[in-house]
Amino acid sequence: MKLIAWLFLGMAAAWAHDAHGRSTAPPEALRLTNPLAPGQRDAALAARLYEQHCGGCHGVDGRSMTPLAGKLKVRPTNLANYLMESMKDGEIYWVVTHGIGASMPAFHQLPDDQRWQLVGHVRALRAQQRAIEKARLGSYDWKLPPGFPLPNVPPDNPMTAAKVTLGRHLFYDQRLSLNQTQSCASCHKQELAFTDGRPRGIGSTKEKHPRGSMSLANMAYTPILTWANPNLRRLETQALAPLFGDHPVELGMAGKEDLMAERLKADARYRKMFAEAFPEQPEPFNLANITKAIASFERTLLSGDSPFDRYRNGDDANAITPAAKRGEALFFSERLECFHCHGGFNLTGSVDYLDKGFVEVEFHNTGLYRHYETPNTGLEEFTHDEEDNGKFRAPTLRNIAVTAPYMHDGSVATLEAAVDHYAKGGRGGDHPAKSEFIKSFDLTAQEKRDLVEFLRSLTDQTFLRNPQFGNPWPPAKTTATQRPTGQKGSTR
Ligand code: HEC
Ligand code: HEC
Ligand code: HEC
């Protein structure tokens, strides 16, 4: 038993230490470019140099799973990890030349051109790994934002363009609600990063949901869905909740699977789309296919083109204002602690991607209430453990400026008020389950403005406007049975 626990921890540690990316090299390293012309780059020589000088720690495949790696105080960076994509050539060169502290040796004694050959090989290690991952994902053309890893797609629902098209039509189709007044898009509107602007959702029968609608940005990387349900792990399964749930009623289709299939089948456009999405199935109008298609569409909703992304990728040093840069420093400081729960490429603590190995899932009590009452007890609702009272998933902060009001129950109206809540160490005061990272801090008025400006720099206009994510239905005539669903003027 003890051994198993130890092994598990050892593995977790190995996976937890990915690349540090650009944190170690100074800004001037960014300006260095590889002086070797393509003709002077020698892959065989580079591989030899790498094996001789680096392989013992980083491994021939770059994944740093060597016996020596496990013995070092600091685990060598996984050079095949996606995070290496955001490191520039000059930064790798810098690290090879100067080393990092006591853990990564400096190689300034090697001739300059050999160090650049090594940079080429480090690049090749990630390129090889990426090709392996891409092959596993199939032929679908993912338009991944720079710096994003490849997503983890369930093997029984590989992505295809035809499924995405079908899923997009379903997502915007009011025929998916019993009384034909709502679609998924009624509560997940693109211009609001797929939230609905309400404190809490309102279903097709006007029943109020206990919690607020959530952004659908980067669902492809979200290992646990909704505010606090640890059992909802797949988009394919999640879609059943709004369709068939009756606590509360959202689309109100409980017991009406056949009616839904009949409605869709009556539309010639769907007969074509279902046939194209599931070509091997003679009778494709079923629930499993409906949820697979919706999930495929949701996985395309990628957001990674905010001003902060452009700034952080090193593409545009002036993409965010000096105030936002000061806010960034506050956000990532031990004084404010925000990054512990809203970190990484998706600014959240719960993330999964292809070959991650160790899926991170976290729930936290942020001290919003002194005691959280039913139906919003958070994780406790599922574990029945009092220690989980008030624990929720930290949502991504991408596009946070357009998704007000905030928190699971919409009880925080503005970003300023959200910051105030944290500055007080949780507006609800002390709760026995409150996270250790939620502690009060003093902010000057200027610092508060800076932090909010940083949060505003996370808005991705490309995502909010991308026509690929919008309502695909033509604004046609409406008839009682064949509503073209979900466009302007309809009840959402
Ligand atoms: C003695 C073991 C060892 C050897 C040999 C070694 N490294 Fe490292 N390397 C490390 C460790 C440990 C780290 C992580 C350091 C840290 O995170 O503080 C690292 C980090 C790196 C990084 C990532 C820096 C970052 O900012 O994330 C690169 C790139 C790198 N090594 C390349 C190389 C190359 C190329 C060679 C061979 C020329 C090499 N290393 C040889 C131990 C080693
Ligand atoms: C009545 C409004 C409403 C409708 C209609 C609706 N949703 Fe939601 N959605 C919500 C609410 C509220 C939540 C949060 C649920 C919770 O925590 O219990 C949510 C959460 C989600 C999540 C989880 C997001 C995350 O970050 O974990 C996904 C995915 C989702 N909805 C997809 C859909 C799909 C697909 C449809 C159509 C089949 C749909 N929704 C219809 C209100 C709605
Ligand atoms: C201990 C982990 C943790 C820390 C630290 C933390 N947050 Fe949160 N954050 C959460 C959780 C969990 C939620 C959802 C809470 C809820 O709904 O009850 C949340 C929600 C939010 C929301 C609202 C999100 C939405 O979609 O409604 C904002 C904005 C936010 N946090 C900003 C920050 C800022 C700024 C900081 C630093 C001052 C910070 N957070 C620190 C865990 C954390």
pLDDT at 362 over 90: yes
> Which candidate, 408, 203, 444, places its Cα nearest to that of 327?
444
The pLDDT-based confidence of 54 (bands split at 50, 70, 90) is very high
Please answer whether residues 275 and 166 qualify as being in contact, where contact means their C-beta atoms are separated by less than 8 angstroms: no
The pLDDT-based confidence of 372 (bands split at 50, 70, 90) is very high
> Which candidate, 208, 211, 173, places its Cα nearest to that of 195?
211
Residue to substitute in 164, 214, 290, 491 for testing ligand 2 pocket (most ligand atoms within 8 angstroms of CB)? 214
* Average pLDDT over every residue of 53-74: 93
In terms of pLDDT, which residue wins out, 147 or 304?
A: 304
Ligand 1 centre distance from Cα of residue 329 (Å): 26
Give the separation between CA 84 and CA 79, rounded to whole angstroms: 6
Among 14-18, 91-95, 109-113, which stretch is predicted with the lowest mean pLDDT? 14-18
Predicted pLDDT of residue 20: 52
For ligand 3, whether the C-beta of 340 sits within 6 Å is yes
Q: φ and ψ at 343, to 5 degrees?
A: -105, -170
Ligand 3 centre distance from Cα of residue 429 (Å): 15
Predicted pLDDT of residue 360: 79
* Average pLDDT over every residue of 312-333: 93
Angle among Cα 195, 197, 200 to the nearest 5 degrees reads 85
Predicted pLDDT of residue 312: 87
Among 130-139, 283-292, 445-454, which stretch is predicted with the lowest mean pLDDT? 130-139
Predicted pLDDT of residue 153: 96
pLDDT at 486 over 90: no
Predicted pLDDT of residue 314: 76
pLDDT at 480 over 50: no
Angle among Cα 447, 448, 451 to the nearest 5 degrees reads 85
- Cis amide linkage into residue 145, ω under 30° from 0: no
For ligand 1, whether the C-beta of 329 sits within 6 Å is no
* Average pLDDT over every residue of 153-174: 97
420 by Cβ neighbours in 10 Å (0-12 / 13-18 / 19+) ranks as middle
- Ordered domains of the chain (ranges, CATH): 2-137 (1.10.760.10), 161-302 (1.10.760.10), 307-465 (1.10.760.10)
For ligand 1, whether the C-beta of 77 sits within 6 Å is yes
pLDDT in tens, 80-106: 999 898 888 999 999 999 998 888 999
Q: How far is CA 456 from CA 47, 195, 311, in A?
A: 44, 16, 14
Predicted pLDDT of residue 463: 98
Q: What percent of the chain has pLDDT over 70?
A: 92
Which residues lie below 8 Å from residue 88, measured CB to CB, with a gap of 6+?
22, 29, 30, 314
Please answer whether residues 440 and 425 qualify as being in contact, where contact means their C-beta atoms are separated by less than 8 angstroms: yes
Angle among Cα 189, 345, 98 to the nearest 5 degrees reads 160
**Locus of tokens 């507006």:** 427
CB-facing half-sphere around the CA of 3: CA atoms within 13 A: 0
Long-range Cβ contacts of 21-29 (<8 Å, 24+ apart):
21/83, 21/84, 21/86, 21/87, 22/86, 22/87, 22/88, 22/91, 22/314, 24/91, 24/94, 24/95, 24/100, 25/90, 25/91, 25/94, 25/95, 26/94, 29/88, 29/90, 29/91, 29/93, 29/94
pLDDT in tens, 229-250: 999 999 999 999 999 998 899 9
The pLDDT-based confidence of 476 (bands split at 50, 70, 90) is low
Nearest ligand to the CA atom of 247: 2
pLDDT at 459 over 90: yes
Phi/psi zone of residue 218: left (φ > 0), alpha (ψ -120 to 50 degrees), beta? left
Ligand 2 centre distance from Cα of residue 262 (Å): 24
For the whole prediction, is pTM greater than 0.95?
A: no
Ligand 3 centre distance from Cα of residue 478 (Å): 42
Predicted pLDDT of residue 347: 95
Predicted pLDDT of residue 23: 61
pLDDT in tens, 429-449: 889 999 999 999 999 999 999
Please answer whether residues 116 and 35 qualify as being in contact, where contact means their C-beta atoms are separated by less than 8 angstroms: yes
* Average pLDDT over every residue of 40-44: 95
- Average pLDDT along the chain: 90
Among positive and negative, which fits the CA dihedral 294, 173, 399, 418?
negative
pLDDT in tens, 396-421: 999 999 999 999 999 999 999 999 99
Please answer whether residues 125 and 80 qualify as being in contact, where contact means their C-beta atoms are separated by less than 8 angstroms: yes
pLDDT in tens, 174-222: 999 999 999 999 999 999 999 999 999 999 999 999 999 999 999 999 9
The pLDDT-based confidence of 477 (bands split at 50, 70, 90) is low
For ligand 2, whether the C-beta of 219 sits within 6 Å is yes
The pLDDT-based confidence of 320 (bands split at 50, 70, 90) is very high
Predicted pLDDT of residue 236: 96
Residue 48: count of CB within 10 angstroms of its CB: 14
Ligand 2 centre distance from Cα of residue 242 (Å): 6
pLDDT at 487 over 70: no
- Residue 149 amino acid letter: P
